[in-house]
Amino acid sequence: MNLNEDLIPLLNKAFFYLKFRPRSIKEVREYLYKKIRTTHWSREAADAVIDNLLERKILDDLEFTGWFVRQRTALKPKSQRLLTTELRQKGVSDEIIEKYFGDNEVDEEKLAMEILEKRWPRFKSLDSRKRFEKATRFLMSRGYSYDLIKRTISKLENI
């Protein structure tokens, strides 16, 4: 689909926004809607730019989901439940989220163990009850279930 010459500057704004990191369709839509408030473009123009980006496969929520999960698990590991919530906030549909996690399993136990091992030296000097509470609070803030937390702490206590 060829864009009207008038929409090229708006397309360039979208490219600029996408230059820093991949974005969901919703993020780009909200960005463009915010940009057009003070210009002569309409929401239809912004939607035409988004359609163009979708056609070119520059915008793809499934690709974005994969990138987002990889980034989160590498930098700040969280549970699948918390990742799902964050993806929904970014406008990714439940179908895409389910498809991604159906095809790519997240080993929550391994992730919980890795992040708790990094924190463990801070907790080691505490008495066992306090250590358990702090470790539990830390992992719960990352969205892990209580059962998984108990197993992870028990493994670290026995090392």
In this prediction, residue 3 has a pLDDT band, given cuts at 50, 70 and 90, of confident
Q: Is the pLDDT of residue 2 over 70?
A: no
Domain boundaries, the chain: 5-55, 64-103, 108-157
Nearest alpha-carbon partner for 113 in 83, 77, 141: 77
Fold (CATH) for 108-157: Arc Repressor Mutant, subunit A (1.10.10)
b/e 126-143 (16+ beta carbons within 10 angstroms → b): eeeeebbeebbebbeebb
Residues 34-53 pLDDT 10s: 999 988 889 999 999 999 99
Nearest alpha-carbon partner for 120 in 108, 107, 134: 134
What residue spans of 5-127 are helical by DSSP H?
8-18, 25-36, 43-55, 61-75, 80-89, 94-103, 108-124
In this prediction, residue 106 has a pLDDT band, given cuts at 50, 70 and 90, of confident
In this prediction, residue 1 has a pLDDT band, given cuts at 50, 70 and 90, of low
Over residues 122-142, the mean pLDDT reads 93
| pTM of the complete model | 0.86
- How much of the chain exceeds pLDDT 70, in percent? 99
User: What per-residue confidence (pLDDT) applies to 101?
Assistant: 96
Alpha-carbon dihedral sign for residues 108, 72, 105, 23: positive
Q: Chain-centre distance of CA 114, in angstroms?
A: 19
In this prediction, residue 4 has a pLDDT band, given cuts at 50, 70 and 90, of confident
